[in-house]
Amino acid sequence: MSFEITRQSTAVGAYVTGLDLSKPLYDAVFERLHAAYLEHHVLCFREQVLSPAQHLAFAGRWGKVSVHPYVASIPGHPGLMEIGDPHPITVEWHSDTTHAATPPRTSMLLARRVPERGGDTLWASQHAAFDTLSPALQEMLQGLRAVHRGTEMAGESGLSAREVTAVHPVVRRHPETSRPALYVNADYTKHFEGMTEEESRPLLEFLYAWAARSEYRWRHHWRVGDLVMWDNASVQHSVVPDVEKGERLLHRVTLEGEVPR
């Protein structure tokens, strides 16, 4: 099966064209895609026409589909969620569900309805963010852990703070490549373990800003039929909130991950 993989930025992101994801993937095709995923961290498959069941089947080729702890799935399709208008949670730079003990490794979005302009999503390489810190700060950060906690939506759904709180290393080693990456984000990281929020705030705010520097980013403008998958162990993402209500609808699937190390 002939297809092309085209790098989109120095740090992160590639387009994949010429593949029909509604059909099973040959092992050789999957191996090439897996290698590209580890290299580029974000892959966008263009011109996909998938039913919800086919979307879930493609996701299942990469791992076990996870069900969000407090965001409802589409009826009849456990693990498939609707993502609509930009929300403050999605506008903030973040990795998905880092308040879980085992955050999802992979996330996938399939564009069902998009505006002609606006509603772009950006990704930023957290490997590049870590690599460009000073050696002294790198060494210090590798000795720190941070507390992550779910948003107000968790409480509204009846979950206790304990159920949506986890402690993770500030520098995460990728589970396949062992490459280090920053692993704190403004949505879920509350403070460093053993420190107060006030004590933690200056360094965390520096890291949040550093993690999203322009040279680490790729910005994607959506088309209907785009399926984008990304590695939550490698990148953070953010949506641009410049669209009118109801113009944007995507379907999201996440895959189970492992305890960050």
What pLDDT is stored for residue 185 in this prediction?
Answer: 98
**2-32 pLDDT, tens per residue?**
899 999 999 999 999 999 999 999 999 999 9
DSSP state of 64: P
* pLDDT grade for 160, boundaries at 50, 70 and 90: confident
What mean pLDDT value characterizes the chain?
95
- Asked whether 85 and 94 are in contact (CB, 8 A), the reply is no
Residue 69 has pLDDT above 90, yes or no: no
Amino acid at 144: L
Q: Which residue of the set 68, 220, 237, 248 is catalytic?
A: 237
* pLDDT grade for 1, boundaries at 50, 70 and 90: low
- The domain ranges of the chain are 1-261
Q: For residues 3 and 17, what is the distance between their CA atoms, to the nearest angstrom? A: 6
Q: Which residue of the set 41, 68, 248, 252 is catalytic?
A: 252
Where is mean pLDDT largest: 52-61, 66-75, 242-251? Answer: 52-61
Question: Is 96 one of the annotated active-site residues of the chain?
Answer: yes
Q: For residues 242 and 247, what is the distance between their CA atoms, to the nearest angstrom? A: 10
Burial class (CB in 10 A: 0-12, 13-18, 19+), 107: buried
Among residues 114, 98, 210, the alpha carbon closest in space to that of 151 is found at: 98
Question: Is 127 one of the annotated active-site residues of the chain?
Answer: no
Question: Is 85 one of the annotated active-site residues of the chain?
Answer: no
Residue 129 has pLDDT above 70, yes or no: yes
Question: What DSSP string describes 133-201?
Answer: S-HHHHHHHTT-EEEEE--HHHHHTT--TGGGEEEEESEEEPTTT--EEE---TTTEEEETTS-HHHHH
DSSP 3-state of 63: coil
* pLDDT grade for 153, boundaries at 50, 70 and 90: confident
Share of the chain above pLDDT 70, in %: 100
Quick one: average pLDDT of 141-161?
Answer: 87
What pLDDT is stored for residue 158 in this prediction?
Answer: 79
Q: Which residue of the set 96, 187, 226, 231 is catalytic?
A: 96
Share of the chain above pLDDT 90, in %: 90
Residue 180 has pLDDT above 80, yes or no: yes
Q: Which residue of the set 94, 99, 168, 220 is catalytic?
A: 94
Q: What is the assigned CATH class of domain 1-261?
A: alpha beta
Q: For residues 53 and 76, what is the distance between their CA atoms, to the nearest angstrom? A: 10
